Chain A
Amino acid sequence: MRFRASIANVSTFFKIIQSIEKLQKKCIIKFTETNMHVICNHDANEGGIQVWSQIKVESLFTGYRIQSNANNEITMAITSEALLAALKSASSSGASTYDTEEVIMKLAKKNAQAVLTFEINGLTRVGRRVRVSHDVKIEVLRPNDVARLNEPMCPEPDLHILLPPLQKLRTVVERLKLMSDILAVRANNNGCLRLSINTESVKVDTEWKDCANPKTQNGSENPEDAPDPNLLFTVVVHIRSFLKFLNSHVVSTTTIACICQHHCMILYVYIGDVADAGGVLTFYIPAIINDEM
């Protein structure tokens, strides 16, 4: 099993991990020959939120080499906080005392413990070379366990809608969180998105108009069963789960929400430009069955 890559785009990698770090302590990262998949699928997650993401290798790494007996794939469980710390020291932010020149990520074994080593080569302000090395403990998953990782089953979504900037959504949802635990997300095919809470003391509806409804890719759309574009589809979710998804505002450019009425909400957070499709983080938020909303 061999794995080695140079991280070309440290800040994007950092932001991806940052946006999922709050979700669960350990995440699963699966490296294949072409993609990196970051998976959070812990059953114990509050509200059952899951993340399945797919990022193209070339949008983050250069000199990417991978070899294994399992179809040249390596799947590991890693502590997201530790990974974030390593990436933080690799990203040359204003606070660090050196400029990063190169970051090598590789699989290694130290004292019979599998680790992911991050070797950071930098240059200080006065021109001295620095080498910082982080070993992040990992647990390599066996192929049988990997085979058991499955994306949640979802029906065909009722609706696709482009979300407004996540930062804006987050401001609103943070206020709503103080007033309610659950949030109703409604949208229609006419560009309207509505976030609502309904408690004993207050009812709040925030409405965005003019959101775009992207065309679904599978072009087999039957014009005869096209529903009323003004029909609202509703999904009720835990407000905290929704906020966890909104943590991805750091990395998002475009976000598409899909509503499977009374079943779940699927959110595609595009990393980089949609056209060049550098990668996508997919959040699944299951619905709460609640008659009142």
Chain B
Amino acid sequence: MKKELITLNVNGDDHEIAVFPWQTLNEVLRDELHLTGTKLGCGTGDCGACTVLIDGKSVSSCLTLAIEAEGVKITTIEGLAPEAVAAAGDLESCELDPIQESFINKGAIQCGFCSPGMIMSSKFLLSHTPKPTEAEIRAGLSGNLCRCTGYNKIVDAIADAAEKINDAQ
């Protein structure tokens, strides 16, 4: 069985890459492009740890075939604050996405495994509902599980981020 050459647009950059048709977008992002911010949790679309944006919409990268992600814009957690990634975590010198900032400031990160997925889901939520109620935030996170069960602070962080974004506009 032979690989097929495809072009993936990830965080604004085109990557030419040879993939097997049965490789998921999650596998290609993590194993081929070494963008390991996107996690793999359940592998069945239940936990949301693998969430990325495709053309602005949150999807499970574990259920997406890489071969079908051609011609779309893929955004991973690394794409939200590229300078911070380049600065290898030296957060003094660079700006984070407001949602990432709120997650830190509100203590919404415990072990951190669910955080990239939570943040990508928040990104989609705030893109179509800029002023969400608490119920809307919880519904917007319905596809993301936190094994540390730190949900309340995550909800607080998203409300905080929404306020910041709206104030800035």
A, B assembled together: no
A residues in contact (CB < 8 Å) with B: none
Chain B positions within 8 Å of A, measured between CB atoms, are: none
